């Protein structure tokens, strides 16, 4: 009898122990913790989804987090509209990268929502995201011809992407003239050959640069900047991915004027095209 009671006591005691509980379901979608200033979007476990559901989830997640980035949730978070558009364009062409972006975004959001840090690091990440996603890539080879008119009262003009290995030709019409001082001599895109600008603070200050000359700037994706004289024509081969732009080699613009003959006013035409 004593043995039976002891065994029964052990059984009863063991029945009073903690019960097994199912693990909490993962958070997916908008969620706010206690003390947070706003909600953050939790992406799903992409690896657990079928390929079809995974693609749909990426689309839904991108739409959701962009509503917060654009300020549509009215929660105090709002980033630059053009920056968001650039990110959207990049991610639509690389949908698989939405997964890592959404996870990183959640990390920055939680830190800002909880007050662990301000939204500044989040904003900095957003501002550099498009460039980071396309680092080392070039999706816009210069394979077209661009026509424009030179603006002699403005700085760098018409920034255009160019890929490593692209060869381009930039030309300016020789017959159109302008001057860069009130009583100075008229010149064309070749510049004032009596006024070389080697050294000093001129935009183009290497051998072959002249005041008023048409010049080109190439900025590689790594930030290295090169400015070179164009004159009436320059053939350039890009040694890296980057952007090109052009202007006249001048320090001020307020006193620049086009040559006028009767009712006819000169305007220098610019053409940029692939070089064969």
Candidate CATH numbers 3.40.50.1860, 3.40.718.10, 3.40.50.300, 2.60.120.430; the one for domain 146-274: 2.60.120.430
Residue 167 near residue 274, CB atoms below 8 Å:
yes
Question: Residue 63: is it exposed, middle or buried by C-beta count within 10 angstroms (0-12/13-18/19+)?
Answer: exposed
Query: Could you tell me how far CA 120 lies from the centroid of its own chain?
Result: 18
Only one residue has tokens 């007050």, namely 115
Q: Structural domain boundaries of the chain?
A: 25-133, 146-274
124-130 average pLDDT score: 94
Instruction: Say how many C-beta atoms besides its own lie within 10 A of residue 273's C-beta.
Output: 15
Instruction: Report the run of H or E that residue 98 belongs to, with start and end.
Output: helix 98-114
Give the tens place of pLDDT for each residue, 208-267.
999 999 999 999 988 899 999 999 999 999 999 999 999 999 999 999 999 999 999 999
pLDDT at 131 over 90: no
Q: What is the pLDDT of residue 11?
A: 40
Within 13 Å and on the Cβ side, how many CA atoms surround 36? 15
Give the tens place of pLDDT for each residue, 4-59.
444 444 444 444 555 666 677 889 999 999 999 999 999 999 999 999 999 999 99
75-80 average pLDDT score: 94
């Amino acid at each position: 009898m004593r043995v039976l009671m002891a065994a029964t006591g052990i059984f009863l005691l063991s029945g009073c122990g903690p019960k097994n509980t199912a693990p909490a379901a993962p958070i997916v979608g908008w969620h706010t913790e206690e003390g947070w200033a706003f909600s953050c979007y939790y992406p799903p476990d992409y690896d657990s989804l079928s390929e079809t559901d995974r693609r749909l989830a990426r689309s839904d997640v991108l739409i959701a987090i962009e509503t917060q980035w654009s300020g549509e949730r009215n929660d105090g978070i709002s980033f630059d509209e053009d920056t968001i558009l650039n990110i959207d364009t990049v991610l639509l062409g690389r949908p698989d990268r939405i997964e890592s972006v959404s996870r990183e975004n959640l990390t920055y959001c939680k830190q800002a929502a909880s007050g662990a840090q301000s939204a500044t690091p989040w904003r900095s990440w957003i501002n550099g995201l498009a460039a980071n996603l396309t680092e080392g890539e070039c999706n816009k080879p210069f394979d077209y011809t661009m026509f424009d008119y030179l603006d002699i009262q403005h700085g760098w003009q018409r920034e255009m992407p160019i890929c490593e290995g692209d060869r381009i030709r930039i030309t300016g019409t020789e017959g159109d003239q302008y001057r860069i001082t009130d009583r100075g001599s008229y010149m064309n895109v070749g510049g004032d050959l009596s006024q070389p600008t080697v050294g000093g603070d001129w935009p183009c200050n290497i051998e072959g640069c002249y005041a008023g000359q048409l010049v080109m700037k190439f900025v590689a994706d790594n930030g290295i900047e090169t400015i070179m004289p164009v004159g009436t024509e320059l053939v350039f081969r890009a040694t890296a991915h980057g952007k090109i732009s052009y202007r006249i080699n001048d320090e001020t613009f307020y006193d620049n004027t086009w040559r006028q003959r009767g009712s006819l006013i000169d305007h220098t035409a610019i053409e940029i095209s692939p070089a064969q």
